[in-house]
A and B are shown apart, each in its own frame.
Chain A
Amino acid sequence: DAKTTQPNSMESNEEEPVHLPCNHSTISGTDYIHWYRQLPSQGPEYVIHGLTSNVNNRMASLAIAEDRKSSTLILHRATLRDAAVYYCILRDVDLGANAGKSTFGDGTTLTVKP
């Protein structure tokens, strides 16, 4: 399975942008890059996903490197409610051995300071 590598923790100040990096050097051509986050004492929630092009939604932006070996989740203005563990995972959209499997790594614990 293609794996992802993220920093263990990051800090940000409230209302400042946050860039959360993820490395996935063994990504395959059929892997989508998904981001989830887990707020304290809650289940993970979907944030965003993409394949090659940068993506934006109401929660965040996803910037994907041209070689797809890394990506960055961008929170444009961090709030205290954004403090969570952020997971970058790869989902193979091909019907193969890895279909349906999401490998959640250790994630990045984001602390937002007021």
Chain B
Amino acid sequence: DTAVSQTPKYLVTQMGNDKSIKCEQNLGHDTMYWYKQDSKKFLKIMFSYNNKELIINETVPNRFSPKSPDKAHLNLHINSLELGDSAVYFCASSQEWWGLQETQYFGPGTRLLVL
């Protein structure tokens, strides 16, 4: 059983398009995250949701809009894609968003290439 899954695994699209990446976790966790890993392998947090509420928004352009329909899902919608959005996007989850139960479980990543 995959703990944190993401779809699609690969996404190739043209500049200006709108695309979504889906994430699901079956761990019963309350908190989910989106990270972006650029070509230099630097991993940067973008958003965090706890119980479907946004708790962290790290200066991400408003073209990026996360949506959490329920605790097990956190989707990422990106409008008007730009070349600089090309990266690997990782979803993660943890039991809580602060405190001692913060071990994060990451998905396999979605490799986005904007042409």
Q: Which residues from chain A sit less than 8 Å from chain B, CB to CB?
A: 32, 34, 36, 38, 41-46, 49, 85, 87, 91-95, 99-104, 106-107
Contact = CB atoms under 8 A, between A and B. Distances in A.
B98 A99 contact: yes
Q: How large is the interface on B (under 10, 10 to 19, 20 to 34, 35 or more residues)?
A: 20 to 34
16 contacts: A32-B100, A43-B92, A43-B108, A44-B92, A46-B103, A46-B104, A92-B98, A93-B99, A93-B100, A100-B55, A100-B56, A100-B98, A100-B102, A101-B45, A102-B45, A104-B43
A94 B108 CA distance: 29
Given A43-B90, A44-B106, A104 B98 contact: no
B77 interface: no
Given A100-B98, A104-B42, 13 more contacts: A32-B102, A36-B104, A42-B108, A43-B90, A43-B108, A91-B102, A94-B98, A99-B97, A100-B102, A101-B56, A101-B58, A106-B42, A107-B41
Residue of B48, B58, B104 most packed against chain A (CB within 10 A): B104
B106 A45 contact: yes
Interface of B: 4, 31, 35, 41-45, 48, 50, 55-56, 58, 90, 92, 97-100, 102-109
B8 to A, nearest CB: 15
A43 B109 contact: yes
Interface of A is mostly: loop
A55 B99 CA distance: 18
Contact of B105 (A38, A46, A106): A46
Nearest to A103: B45
Contacts of B90: 43-44
